[in-house]
Amino acid sequence: MYRIEGSMLISRGGKPKWQKFRKEVLATKPEEALEEVYSVLGGTHKLKRKNIKVHSVREVSPEESESPEVAGLLSLQGFIK
């Protein structure tokens, strides 16, 4: 699991402003985590990659997770068919 922190350029009322973000994603490599964040922010906020600045990418343990969704997924024991 990786935590990615950065800034994104959001335009509200015609005035662009840099807004901080923090996302936690499940990935096996930092590159995959970064691609996931670009995809989520681009899809949700209609941002181009040039409008997303990544400040840090770091691996975190499930105990450090601040995201209840990610922590819940990691606590699963198995799948039921």
Instruction: Write down the domain spans for the chain.
Output: 2-62
- C-alpha distance from residue 70 to each of 13, 24, 35 (Å): 33, 7, 17
Structure-model confidence comparison of residues 78 and 45, the more confident one: 45
Topology of the domain covering 2-62: Ubiquitin-like (UB roll) (3.10.20)
What number of other Cβ atoms are within 10 A of residue 41's Cβ? 20
The CA distances from residue 18 to 2, 12, 15, 51, 55, in Å, are: 22, 11, 10, 9, 13
pTM for this predicted structure: 0.78
- Confidence band of 74 (pLDDT split at 50, 70, 90): low
- Per residue in 42-65, pLDDT (tens digit) is 998 889 999 999 999 999 887 787
